[in-house]
Amino acid sequence: MGTWRVRWCSDGRWQVRTPGGTQACARTNRDHAVNAACALARIEGGGVVLVEDAQGDLEWRRTVLWDEPTQGI
Q: Rounded distance, CA 32 to CA 22, Å?
A: 20
Confidence band of 72 (pLDDT split at 50, 70, 90): low
Give the span between the Cα atoms of 8 and 12, in whole angstroms.
Answer: 7
Q: Check whether 73 has a pLDDT greater than 80.
A: no
The pTM (predicted TM-score) of the whole model is: 0.85
Q: In the prediction, which pLDDT does 11 show?
A: 87
Starting at the edge strand that comes first in sequence, how are the strands of the sheet with 2-8 ordered? 24-28, 14-17, 2-8, 46-52, 58-65
pLDDT tens, residue by residue, 22-70 = 788 778 999 999 999 999 999 999 999 999 988 889 999 999 998 877 6
Residue 38 amino acid letter: C
